[in-house]
Amino acid sequence: MLQQIGELIQQHQTFLIAAHERPDGDSIGSALAFYHILRGMGKDAVIYNQDSMPENFLFLPGSDVITQALPPVANFEVAIILDCGELERVGKEAATIAKIPNFVNIDHHVSNGGFCDVCLLDASASSTGELIFRLAQHIEFPLTREIATCLYAAILTDTGGFRYGNTRSGTLLAAARLVDKGAEPQWISENIYESDSPGRIRLLAAVLPTLTIEEEGRVGSLVVTQKALAESGALSDHAEGFVDFPRSIRGVEISLLYAEMGDGRFKISLRSKGKTNVERVARFFGGGGHLNAAGCRVSGELSEIRRRVNEAIRDCIF
């Protein structure tokens, strides 16, 4: 498949790069790296995401080229869909993007069923960034400092700073190669993990009192409400990473973050330790992800949603 993707890139000139709504470090770093690769090959490329970038990724080279306004799709020969298990994950413009004649999907989610003919899928990969690193190596594209920085950020964030179970020898070798090509681990980590806004810290202070420990200490959760966002002056993006706090508690195997979206739904982020598979729970509610990190969106009252999620955890895991 690497060869097929390389040939498709050679054969076409205009590309739309899109990743999932509410972008994270992997989707942003991967999209920017692919953009730099295409531009380095003399291709025309646009990165689209329906949502704005989180502040702590604005330092990535080329971040200012990402647009929230989808250009006319007739301008593009190929759509590159990154970090999405299904096309609908790009958001409200999915049906319009579907009109582009050629598709490439690069993804590492176990829930990806393959929605186009040209797919680079590997659920054992740490991140979409790691897969793009493999592609760059295969087509022998020289890694610039800009590309190395973006891919290192992608891998760093989706491995939780190289702490999660998806960190394998190939992941670390890729990271080492990216450092050789100019990625600066300390500078990248400081920008991502040590540049919080006052609004994020105020939001964290409002959210921590919602901590709930259930299922005999094995499940911990936090809640982010629209009211907490408004009172702290924070954005929804500022809650990124809050799901990891309950997981840091001794004895907690599954950590959840219930984030109110303002449209009658809650976005539920799930994390776990060891071989506890939270993807099963997310899939039960129409979501997906990985063994230790998954997510879904559920409509309803919070109390009823929590009851249903806890029931699913007992049925699917415990």
Q: Are residues 8 and 140 in the same domain?
A: yes
How is residue 289 written in tokens?
A: 């992800």
CATH value at residue 283: 3.10.310.30
Q: Are residues 143 and 245 in the same domain?
A: no
Q: Per residue of the chain (318 residues), what is the pLDDT tens digit?
A: 789 999 999 999 999 999 999 899 999 999 999 999 999 999 999 999 999 999 999 999 999 999 999 999 999 999 999 999 889 999 999 999 999 999 999 999 877 777 888 999 998 999 999 999 999 999 999 999 999 999 999 999 999 999 888 999 999 999 999 999 999 999 999 999 999 999 999 999 999 999 999 999 999 999 999 999 999 999 888 998 999 999 999 999 999 999 999 888 999 999 999 889 999 999 999 998 888 889 999 999 999 999 999 999 998 787
Q: Are residues 185 and 204 in the same domain?
A: no
Q: Are residues 8 and 47 in the same domain?
A: yes
What are the distances in angstroms from CA 34 to CA 30, 42, 72, 150?
A: 6, 13, 20, 9
Domain count, the chain: 2
Q: Are residues 254 and 152 in the same domain?
A: no
Torsion sign (Cα): 76, 66, 97, 93: negative
* Chosen domain end from 193, 213, 237: 193
How is residue 240 written in tokens?
A: 């990124």
Query: How much is the pLDDT for 42?
Result: 97
Query: How much is the pLDDT for 111?
Result: 74
Place of tokens 């979206």: 261
Query: How much is the pLDDT for 317?
Result: 82
65: domain range?
2-193
* Chosen domain end from 159, 193, 227: 193
Each residue's pLDDT tens digit, 108-137:
987 777 788 899 999 899 999 999 999 999
- Beta-ladder partners of 224: 259
The share of the chain scoring above pLDDT 90, in percent, equals: 86
Q: Are residues 36 and 179 in the same domain?
A: yes
Q: Are residues 183 and 223 in the same domain?
A: no
Q: Are residues 151 and 254 in the same domain?
A: no
Place of tokens 């004649």: 101
Query: How much is the pLDDT for 195?
Result: 92
* Chosen domain end from 193, 214, 247: 193
CATH value at residue 16: 3.90.1640.10
Name the phi and psi angles at 215, rounded to 5: 50, 50
Each residue's pLDDT tens digit, 165-188:
899 999 999 999 999 999 999 999
Q: Are residues 189 and 202 in the same domain?
A: no
Q: Are 145 and 99 in contact (CB under 8 A)?
A: no
Query: How much is the pLDDT for 222?
Result: 98
Burial class (CB in 10 A: 0-12, 13-18, 19+), 58: middle
Q: Are residues 202 and 302 in the same domain?
A: yes
Give the C-alpha separation, 144 to 268, whole Å: 37
Q: Are residues 32 and 57 in the same domain?
A: yes
Q: Are residues 237 and 294 in the same domain?
A: yes
Give the C-alpha separation, 280 to 285, whole Å: 9
